Amino acid sequence: MQEQPKIIILGNGPINTDLTEQVNNCPRVVRFNHCAAMPDYLGQRCTDLWLVGRGRQALSLLNTPQMSLEGLSQVMITDPNPNPVAQCFFKLIQRKSKVDFGEALISIYAQKCQVERLTAQFRQSLLNELLTLGSPIHRPRCVSSGTLAIAYFLAQFKYIHIAGFGFQGWKRHPWNLEKQFVEQLVAEKQVILLDS
């Protein structure tokens, strides 16, 4: 029988396995963005919520139902603090994909739990590490939130459990390298798949 995970990271990709018991009994459960619409068989628990801070997706997070704040202990904004001058320029030219909504998201959660932003250094360091694995299909802008979370929590836990990682979506994430990175962590038993 598989041991009860100490931390589960639930990506937003398809998951067909009933994880209710494991998720609801896990001390740390990490979810992303529009996770309030996840099916019931993925449990209800969420202690760590990771949110994109920029662009249309971040704006939509302000205008859609949020996760219940009960049990939530940390919110991570995956975009670093923006450059205020650049933000004025992006708003002026209506470059909606670059406008930062991180502070508005922080204001929703800051009175209930710990809120922080990933640093630019952390994001760039992981991207640099991935680029040593080979060539991306498209020129990448940043690593996906899911892979960032895996790297972040592996610095705190000996191993982690994950589900719902399909390694596809926005073409400016280096999906092929992220998949290779996670597959290596699975082979090293630092990452355990719950939906394999």
Edge-to-edge strand list for the sheet holding 160-163: 114-117, 74-77, 48-51, 28-32, 7-10, 160-163, 191-193
Q: What is the pLDDT of residue 51?
A: 93
Q: What is the pLDDT of residue 48?
A: 95
Q: What is the pLDDT of residue 1?
A: 46
User: Which residues, other chains included, contact 15 with Cβ-Cβ below 8 Å and sequence gap of 6+?
Assistant: 42, 163, 164, 195
Q: What is the rounded CA–CA span in Å between residue 158 and residue 14? A: 26
- 66-88: pLDDT as tens digits: 666 678 999 999 997 777 676 66
Are the C-beta atoms of residues 57 and 78 closer than 8 Å to each other? Answer: no
pLDDT reading at 30 higher than 70: yes
| pLDDT: which is higher, 57 or 190 | 190
Residue type, 150: I
DSSP state of 159: -
The domain locations on the chain are 7-193
Label residue 183 by pLDDT band (50, 70, 90).
Answer: very high
Query: What integer is the mean pLDDT of 170-188?
Result: 96
Q: CATH fold of 7-193, please?
A: sialyltransferase cstii, chain A (3.90.1480)
- 121-130: pLDDT as tens digits: 999 999 999 9
User: Which residues, other chains included, contact 80 with Cβ-Cβ below 8 Å and sequence gap of 6+?
Assistant: 117, 118, 119, 120, 123
Query: What integer is the mean pLDDT of 128-149?
Result: 95
Q: What is the rounded CA–CA span in Å between residue 15 and residue 159? A: 20
Q: What is the pLDDT of residue 120?
A: 93
